[in-house]
Amino acid sequence: MATWNSRGLRGSTLEEFINLTNEKYAEHRLALIQKVPTPITPVRIDKDSRHITLAYFEQKSTVDYIGAVQGIPVCFDAKECHTDTFPLQNIHPHQIDFMEQFEGQQGISFLIIFYSHRNEFYYLRHNKLMEFWNRAKEGGRKSFRYEELEPEYFISSKGGILVPYLDMIQQDLEKRS
């Protein structure tokens, strides 16, 4: 059974930026994207602070976010990377399966990766993710390098929106047609 132990708030900066972005998108009626809560069962709670210090995951999570953009179903996961090499072990097979099924239902799935040491956000298209995933499955690299990424999918903040990924979705849709 998987457990969670408070090892800091890994990924919390990225998720906070995405949550603020999603609030802006909802305010302007551009998209409705919700954070998918990960169900946990507390095992140990600090009596003084009432904080959970040990818990286990009740079930495998799918992705971090799900919703719709102008009528298009969208799901994505947020990942942080502290080096120029992203290990594919940070993505679980059940997440890949979910994203594949989501794409099969005419939805769009992707990852948003925050390269924290570079302070850069990246939109990893589903097709590119699957290229890396299948390469690893066939005995190739179990990671991908920063240099292998498509330069046009780096995300720049603009207009008060911290992680404006809607532009990337538009590019992704254009590339698919």
Name which of 108, 115, 110 is nearest 145 in CA terms.
115
Mean pLDDT of the chain: 88
Residue 18 is predicted with a pLDDT of 95
Structure tokens at 84: 């120029």
Between residues 113 and 158, which one has the greater pLDDT? 113
By three-state DSSP, how is residue 115 classified?
strand
Per DSSP, the residues of 27-61 read HTTSEEEEEPP--EEEEEE-TTT--EEEEEESS--
pLDDT greater than 70 at residue 156: yes
| Neighbour order of strands in the sheet with 65-69 | 31-35, 65-69, 72-81, 108-115, 120-125, 154-155
pTM of the model: 0.83
Q: For 111-130, write each residue's pLDDT tens digit.
A: 999 999 999 999 999 999 99
Query: Poorest-confidence range of 17-21, 39-43, 120-124, 142-146?
Result: 39-43
Q: Are the CB atoms for 17 and 119 separated by under 8 Å? A: no
Distance CA 130, CA 110 (A): 10
Q: Are the CB atoms for 164 and 158 separated by under 8 Å? A: yes
Q: Which domains does the chain have, with CATH numbers?
A: 20-37+64-176 (3.40.1350.10)
Confidence of residue 44 (pLDDT cuts 50, 70, 90): confident
Give the Å distances, CA to CA, from 27 to 16, 37, 89, 112. Answer: 17, 21, 36, 21
Query: Poorest-confidence range of 38-47, 80-89, 106-115?
Result: 38-47
pLDDT greater than 80 at residue 12: no
Q: What is the mean pLDDT of residues 2-24?
A: 69
Residue where the block lists tokens 């408070």: 6
Using alpha carbons only, give the angle 105, 101, 71 rounded to the nearest 5 degrees.
35
